[in-house]
Amino acid sequence: MKKKVILYFPNPLPYNRQWKGVPLALLAISRFLVRDGYQVKIFSRFLNDDLEKEIIEAGEDSICLGISAMTGFQIADGLRLAKLFRKKYPKIPIVWGGWHVSILARESIKNSLVDFVIRGPGDVVFGQLVKAIESKGCFRQIKGLTYKRGKRIYHNPDQPMVDFDKMPPLPYQLVDVDKCLINTEYGQKTVAYISSYGCPFRCAFCVEQVVNKRKWSAVSAKAVVKDWQRLYKKYGIDSIAVYDSNFFVDEKRVARICKLLIKKKIKIKWGNANGRVGQLARYSPETWKLMKRSGCVMILTGAESGSQQALDFIDKDMKVEEIIKFTKLCKKYGIKILYSFLVGLPWSKKAEENQTFIKREYKSTFGLIDKLLKISDRNRYTYYVFLPYPGAPLFHRAVSLGLKYPKSLTGWSNYLMSPEDAFKKVEKQKWISYKQARLTAMLTQYIFGLMDKDTYYVLLERIHNRLAKLLFIVVYKLALLVVKLRWRLKFFDCPVDYYLFSLVYKRAKLV
Ligand code: B12
Ligand code: SF4
């Protein structure tokens, strides 16, 4: 038998919208197998032209098929592929991993297309499982594994947090990296990277605390820079999108990464790095300077709300003033902020009380954003309706308020798949009205999008035809006038301009 493993990264986006990027999860679970001489083949819709045919051909003599899944459409796409694979190779086991099955392992394993579930990081345990399947060995000792034998389900104890010091680097060579590069605001050739797992905090809407139990483990600064240097030299990348849940937990590690990037003259930009405002506001001026000099261009932060009451309700452990302090620091050091706000929390069982709370949430968040806009007009605000994901403490709260949720893996595959579905759902739960949900989307996609100065230049660069460029400039400037007026008056009714802009935007294929 060849030592061969097949991995599939399902498309996370519904309605034929194709996601593209590095399937980091699959690279991570392949590290030890690659080191030990296994042949690992990674498949994804954007990587393979004739996906089904290629995966079936490669499946012959493989030890297992591995599938990754977040809640939502990845499950649907994963199940579809698993069905095809099972039909052709009924004896080859199918292993699932990722956030959804980690949280709902006992439920997911009941599906006939799921033989094994790995809960939490698969870096170490997937290698152990593959070897156990190959040698027909025992599964009882593999931590973090849920599996079944006939009708009996075995749920082994949790695995300890991974230790990156003992791990081989991410094997980017397993994928066609050129096909995985993305265009971002800060680079033409941006590659995704992850340097830590977990987060010590406990935000009530987030699933981190369920999967990684508030632990945090990171790749050393030296190894991070070695990886980035390799990506820079081998693939000619110009930027890194950092996907850590919380990149900034350890200030010393961040400072060391920056110092090494500067010392080794690695001229790349790094952005998207997720951090908490309080944490970063406490960083020393030296670290901020190093971050700037080493190419940090954008920090992503969950600001969540301008209402202290809302922040306390979601256990954010953060003060509104810290958001302002952090914004001033980013302005001072010329680093862009991507804020994420949310609205529509399951506050009360009574619809009227929820409405009062939501109106207060909007008012305080708008007030805060006005203050932040005075500090800088270069930042980006995203505003989302709170959506309950299984496992998070607020999910249970939402259930106690009447949320109906799926009870099987198949059921979860179309859970809150599009904003429209989500809006209908939240309206049913009476936390937020359809009109408010639509306003939230309009703020993110249109009002805040246009008010961010960089959007104009980023979009302009994507248009090559001179006439189209000219048309774009006129339409954009007019829309910006309307948007600014709407924001100043806080008047968001009759959003015809929003619909028109969305139409032009889609037509011009700027998305
Ligand atoms: C990039 C990203 C996206 C990208 C791409 C998705 C992807 N999977 O790459 C996009 C933009 C599409 C996306 C969308 C969404 N995302 Co997202 N995303 C992320 C992010 C920031 C990084 C993912 C990543 O690459 N991680 C790096 C790899 C190495 O880690 P990993 O994926 O966890 O994989 C490890 C284990 O899970 C496991 N594993 C994973 N797959 C497999 C497979 C096998 C066979 C095995 C054995 C093990 C295994 O082993 C891996 C290595 O240890 C994570 C946060 C995070 N830090 O992971 C959120 C995260 C996954 N997203 C999340 C959410 C909520 C969403 C959205 C629902 C947000 C929204 N409201 O729209 C949508 C989903 C749309 C939908 N419903 O279909 C949640 C997951 C919640 C859940 N229940 O699934 C996370 C955890 C963020 C959070 N803390 O809340 N996301
Ligand atoms: S800080 Fe971010 S990653 Fe950490 S628990 Fe809160 S939302 Fe989740």
pLDDT in tens, 352-376: 888 899 999 999 999 999 999 999 9
CATH label of the domain that carries residue 41: 3.40.50.2300
Q: Is the pLDDT of residue 511 over 50?
A: no
Q: Which of 213, 245, 317, 384 to mutate to test the pocket of ligand 2 (most atoms within 8 A of CB)?
A: 245
The CA 306 to ligand 2 mean position distance, Å, reads 17
198 plus 335 within the same structural domain: yes
CB 337 less than 6 A from any atom of ligand 1: no
Determine the average pLDDT of the residues in 193-197.
97
Rounded-to-integer distance, Cα 38 and Cα 30, Å: 9
Number of domains comprising the chain: 3
pLDDT, tens digit (0-9, with 9 covering 90-100), for 261-273: 999 999 999 999 9
CA–CA distance, 394 with 316 (Å, rounded to integer)? 12
* 218 and 342 together in one domain: yes
Distance 178 CA to ligand 2 centre (A): 31
Contact between residue 8 and residue 43 where contact means Cβ atoms under 8 Å apart = yes
Q: How far is the CA of 303 from the centre of ligand 2 (A)?
A: 11
Q: Which of 363, 386, 409 lies at the terminal end of a domain, its last residue?
A: 386
- State the first-to-last Cα distance of the chain, in angstroms, to the nearest integer: 46
For ligand 1, whether the C-beta of 67 sits within 6 Å is: yes
Answer yes or no: is the C-beta of 255 below 6 A from any ligand 1 atom.
no
Q: Which ligand is nearest to the CA of 5?
A: 1
121 pocket-lining for ligand 1 (C-beta < 6 Å): yes
Q: Whose CA is nearest to atom 8 of ligand 2?
A: 206
Contact between residue 412 and residue 398 where contact means Cβ atoms under 8 Å apart = no
The ligand minimizing its distance to the Cα of 395 is 1
Q: Is 314's C-beta closer than 6 angstroms to any atom of ligand 2?
A: no
> Are residues 257 and 125 part of one domain?
no
Is residue 131 assigned to a domain? yes
For residue 415, what pLDDT is reported? Answer: 83
Q: What is the pLDDT of residue 42?
A: 98
- Structural domain of residue 135, as residue ranges? 4-155
Closest ligand 1 atom to residue 126 Cα is 47
Collapsed DSSP state (helix, strand, coil) of residue 42: strand
Q: Is residue 163 domain-resident?
A: no
**Residues 322 and 266 occupy one common structural domain:** yes
Angle formed by the axes of helices 320-333 and 285-293, nearest 10°: 50
Q: Encode pLDDT of 328-350 as tens digits.
A: 999 999 999 999 999 989 888 88
Total Cβ atoms within 10 A of residue 233: 10
- Whether 90 is covered by a domain: the verdict is yes
Give the lowest-confidence range in 82-96, 160-174, 210-224, 466-480: 466-480
Asked whether 229 and 265 are in contact (CB, 8 A), the reply is no
> Are 222 and 195 spatial neighbours (Cβ–Cβ below 8 Å)?
no
Same domain membership, residue 67 and residue 194:
no
> 251 and 346: one domain?
yes
Which CATH number fits the domain that encloses residue 203?
3.80.30.20
Statement to judge: residues 381 and 447 lie in one domain: no
What is the spatial distance between Cα 188 and Cα 162, in angstroms, rounded to a whole number?
33
Is 422:346 a contact under the CB 8 Å cutoff?
no
C-alpha 392 – ligand 1 centre gap (Å): 15
36/138 same-domain check: yes
Tens of pLDDT, residues 449-504: 999 988 888 888 888 888 888 988 998 899 999 999 999 999 999 999 998 888 87
Position 89 in a domain:
yes
Query: Ligand 1: distance of its center to the CA of 498 in Å?
Result: 30
Same domain, 206 and 342: yes
Written as one letter, the residue type at 340 is S
| Domain assignment present for 371 | yes
- CB-based burial, 258-279: b 16+ in 10 Å, e otherwise: bbbbeeeebebbbbbbbbbbbb
Atom index in ligand 2 nearest the CA of residue 207 equals 8
**Of all atoms in ligand 2, which is nearest to the CA of residue 316?**
6
For position 370, what pLDDT does the model report?
A: 97
302 ligand 2 Cβ < 6 A:
yes
- Yes or no: say if 12 and 73 are a contact pair by the CB < 8 Å rule: yes
* Per-residue confidence (pLDDT) for residue 421, from 0 to 100: 64
Contact 241, 191 (CB under 8 A): yes
Burial of 130 (0-12, 13-18, 19+ CB in 10 A): buried
What CA–CA distance (Å, rounded) separates 511 from 505? 7
Residue 100 Cβ contacting ligand 1 at under 6 Å: yes
Mean of pLDDT values over 82-104: 98
Same domain, 132 and 205: no
Asked, for residue 174, whether it belongs to a domain, the answer is: no
Q: How far is the CA of 294 from the centre of ligand 1 (A)?
A: 27
**Of residues 105, 58, 103, 104, the one with CA closest to residue 81:** 58
Looking up tokens 């392992």 gives 105
Residue 106 has pLDDT above 70, yes or no: yes
Residue to substitute in 9, 19, 68, 99 for testing ligand 1 pocket (most ligand atoms within 8 angstroms of CB): 99
Q: Which of 70, 202, 246, 387 to mutate to test the pocket of ligand 1 (most atoms within 8 A of CB)?
A: 70
Question: Whose C-alpha lies nearest to ligand 1, atom 33?
Answer: 98
Residue 476 lies in a domain: yes
Q: State percent of the chain over pLDDT 90.
A: 79
* Nearest one of 435, 455, 464 to 501, comparing CA atoms: 455
188 within some domain: yes
Looking at residue 235, its amino acid is Y
Nearest CA to ligand 1 atom 25: 24
Residue 29 Cα to ligand 1 midpoint, Å, equals 14
Q: Mind listing the pLDDT tens digit for each residue in 396-432? A: 998 888 888 899 999 999 886 555 666 666 666 667 8
Q: Which two tokens stand for residue 203?
A: 């935000």
Specify whether the CB–CB gap between 510 and 459 falls below 8 A: yes
Please choose, from the candidates 297, 306, 175, the residue with its C-alpha nearest in 3D space to the C-alpha of residue 231. 175
Percent of the chain whose pLDDT exceeds 70: 95
**In this structure, are 200 and 331 located in the same domain?**
yes
245 lines ligand 2 (CB under 6 A): yes
Reported as half-sphere exposure (CB side, CA atoms, 13 A), residue 138 has a value of 3
Q: How far is the CA of 376 from the centre of ligand 2 (A)?
A: 25
Q: pLDDT per residue over 269-302, tens digit each?
A: 999 999 999 999 999 999 999 999 999 999 999 9
Q: Quote the tokens at residue 202.
A: 């406990």
Amino acid letter, 263 = K
**Is the pLDDT reported for residue 153 higher than 60?**
yes
* Pair (222, 122) in one structural domain: no
As a whole number, the mean pLDDT across the chain is 93
Closest ligand relative to 216 C-alpha: 2
How far does residue 112's CA lie from ligand 1's centre (Å)? Answer: 24
